[in-house]
Amino acid sequence: MTPGPVQLPQEVLNNMALPMEHHRTPEFIALWNRTLANLKRIFNTEQNVFIHTSTGSGGMESALVNTLSPGDHVIAVTSGKFGERWADMAETFGARVTRVEVPWGKAARVAAIEDALRTHPDTVAVLCQACETSTGVLHPIREIARAVSKSKAILLVDGITALGALPMPMDEWGIDVLVAGSQKAFMLPAGLSFISFSKKAWTRVEQAKCPRYYFDIRKEKAANDNGESYFSSAVTHVRALELVLNIFLSQGLERVYGRIQTLSRATLLAAGEMGIEVFPESPSPSLSALVIPEGIDGQKVRAEMEKNDAVIVMGGQDQLKGKIIRIGHMGAIRDEDLLLTLKSFAATLNRLKPGTVSEERIIAALNKAAEVLRESPMVAMKVALA
Amino acid sequence: MTPGPVQLPQEVLNNMALPMEHHRTPEFIALWNRTLANLKRIFNTEQNVFIHTSTGSGGMESALVNTLSPGDHVIAVTSGKFGERWADMAETFGARVTRVEVPWGKAARVAAIEDALRTHPDTVAVLCQACETSTGVLHPIREIARAVSKSKAILLVDGITALGALPMPMDEWGIDVLVAGSQKAFMLPAGLSFISFSKKAWTRVEQAKCPRYYFDIRKEKAANDNGESYFSSAVTHVRALELVLNIFLSQGLERVYGRIQTLSRATLLAAGEMGIEVFPESPSPSLSALVIPEGIDGQKVRAEMEKNDAVIVMGGQDQLKGKIIRIGHMGAIRDEDLLLTLKSFAATLNRLKPGTVSEERIIAALNKAAEVLRESPMVAMKVALA
């Protein structure tokens, strides 16, 4: 029940156990091209989507090295661990970085980004997480994109804990570079990152002077235009990706997003019933970060939930260590998985500090969650027949 | 039967279908550390071995960006597609590259590297493939290492199609940076690369000025020293890697290498019996590159073998397109897999150009191969009980 890696559907696991194929066979090449085409539908873009064999952080590096030159001025929205990472990464590659610091748990304010763009008219790129996984906040990407589009800067969005979990239409919103990762809403193990560049971003790709080879999107584009990948493909991951995309598209993206939204709503309502505070001011549907009540060590909560109930959630990172737990809503989550998680959480709080949540509140919370979950049942992990 | 990705043991495929685990759980962290310790035994080094989530080319980039600074002079041994790639990559990151060009199929001459080192005393690194996958040649790495060790340069070795297939004791031979990949002798899908740095190389890591983040080995070392990976781990790959390393170590590396050597010897002897020329002058045991007889299109040979006999081998790349076929000897290869491959190859040559190999020669070749294969049976893909 973590915000990634997520629980994989059995169908995906079975798919990963199929015999190896060579990535240069006509069969795999056909699958590769179908998969790239289907990824465009998740990104909602007319542009190419590319696959790197890397974790999401590799995709974040690709976004930078393909669009920046040393000395470029960049605005980085930092609102948690992954925002900090992206800003550090940009500095590593020689960018001059101005951080728009957002208190952890708060959503970025568009006006603050507009101010920074006015103060630094030489800004060539704005970096922002869609969902900051470390705090569970969802930033107003659509509005940020509108603001950035009025400048000469491009908007780079880390959609790792967002894409596939909620609508993020790249072209319509005007996102210039969008990055995603396999181990979140795409229900795969870590190992692939996905990235797409808008037309505006492509002009930067041609000019960018950051040295790059493994993540050089020009090489990958030339190979893809020729129907293949530039490097060896992570065949097992790509085949399982095809399966997941077929599930998404045949079941309908609205239903996929709806289910995640429902898991989120059930969790937040249950937390409310139990008197548990929600950490972020605008929670992303992809995960819920809940505040550990005063006087309880959140690291113990996490460990006790695993030990006693075999429920694995994540705690807080860095400054939030011990202060929150994070429950993921992506992946193959059954109703009973979430209900057990909520029950285990409440029981663990009471074990560590008796009387934290009353029996009545727990029952009310679970009833409320169950009621909400009924509205949008788990998406069938099957490819619907045409 | 390609030189990678290779056929995976069923045990590995089954392992990849196990339920997902989070990479920050105590269970996975313990497995991670066992696996890093076992990798050191394959590299035969006292130094740390690191895992990147990338294909082998990512490991090649890691070797460069962690040891070089822009403007550094580098000698690159180029003897095929992957030597060219590494030289290009070094230039991309700002190195001044002198190529020691070796005709495709020939082994590098140590004297040529010594000459280049004398001509360019400012050389900081020498790059060489152990086995050049595109030609099947094995370079004399031990001797090259001895020559390079007398200079201030470090030796970077691409062991992607060598490590795990033949002994390559990093410390004893004096290799400074050694790179390997998961989809070859390690019998996994593509997705992981492995890398280790000698003490001499570590002094370069501290000084190297190439910008790096995703492949920054200092970050990874600090995280590993703390028992964890820096980025998310490709959990399914790493768990399967643990299984493979346990198979290797419990069955014995000598037997693993012996089997690959035997598959190679059987292939080369059979080729000799059939009057088929072996392409490289010093063939690597990890794959055999065989010359397509005059008047036959090698690309057709590859395609016909797949169509008629469901045998998948690889053809030549770049300047060798249509001129050779490459048969891999790594992975879960049964005796009958190799015998069928040899039979299919001969039959296909005869189909495309009748009379190329006589019936008697085919029978003699298969008998010879079968006889050799009996000497070193397939390694059991099981973890032996203590």
ipTM of the complex: 0.96
pLDDT of residue B385: 64
Q: What CA dihedral angle connects A320, A321, A327 and A331, to 10 degrees?
A: 100
Is this prediction's pTM over 0.95?
A: yes
Which chain A residues contact residue B181 at CB under 8 A?
Answer: 232
Mutate to test the interface with A, among B62, B214, B306 (most CBs of A within 10 A): B214
Using DSSP's 3-state secondary structure scheme, residue B327 falls into strand
Domain A253-375 bears CATH identifier 3.30.450.20 = no
How far is the C-alpha of A270 from the C-alpha of A377, rounded, in Å? 17
How far is the C-alpha of B1 from the C-alpha of B11, rounded, in Å? 18
Residue B319 DSSP code:
G
Give B252-286 pLDDT, tens digit per residue: 999 999 999 999 999 999 999 999 999 999 999 99
Name the token pair of B206. Answer: 């501290």
What residue ranges in B135-282 does DSSP mark as E strands? 137-138, 154-158, 177-181, 192-197
Dihedral angle sign, alpha carbons of residues A125, A318, A134, A11: positive
Using DSSP's 3-state secondary structure scheme, residue B246 falls into helix
Give B276-324 pLDDT, tens digit per residue: 999 999 999 999 999 999 999 999 999 999 999 999 999 999 999 999 9
CATH fold, domain B10-251, is Aspartate Aminotransferase; domain 2 (3.40.640)
Name the token pair of B322. Answer: 């249509």
Rounded mean pLDDT, B341-364: 98
pLDDT at B349 over 90: yes
Name the token pair of B227. Answer: 């028992």
Q: B232 and A6: CB-CB below 8 Å? A: no
Token pair 């005869």 is found at B350
Quote the minimal CA–CA distance from A192 to chain B in Å.
Answer: 9
How far is the C-alpha of A68 from the C-alpha of B33, rounded, in Å? 36
pLDDT of residue A384: 74
Confidence of residue B384 (pLDDT cuts 50, 70, 90): confident
- CA nearest B15 in A: which residue? A17
pLDDT at A118 over 90: yes
Give A283-322 pLDDT, tens digit per residue: 999 999 999 999 999 999 999 999 999 999 999 999 999 9
Strand order in the sheet with B324-328: B287-291, B324-328, B314-315
Of B116, B114, B49, whose CA–CA distance to B87 is shortest?
B116
Token pair 């748990």 is found at A105
Q: A5 and B21: CB-CB below 8 Å? A: yes
Which chain B residues contact residue A88 at CB under 8 A?
Answer: 213
pLDDT of residue B386: 55
Q: A53 and B56: CB-CB below 8 Å? A: no
Distances (CA, A) of B269 to B194, B276, B298, B342, B373: 33, 10, 21, 11, 11
Rounded mean pLDDT, B178-190: 98
Quote the minimal CA–CA distance from A95 to chain B in Å.
Answer: 11
Q: A5 and B18: CB-CB below 8 Å? A: no
Quote the minimal CA–CA distance from A20 to chain B in Å.
Answer: 6
Quote the minimal CA–CA distance from A273 to chain B in Å.
Answer: 29
pLDDT of residue A383: 87
Q: Where are the domains of chain B?
A: 10-251, 253-375
Neighbours of B43 (CB within 10 A): 23
Confidence of residue B383 (pLDDT cuts 50, 70, 90): confident
Confidence of residue A385 (pLDDT cuts 50, 70, 90): low
Mutate to test the interface with A, among B21, B24, B55 (most CBs of A within 10 A): B55
Rounded mean pLDDT, B366-370: 98
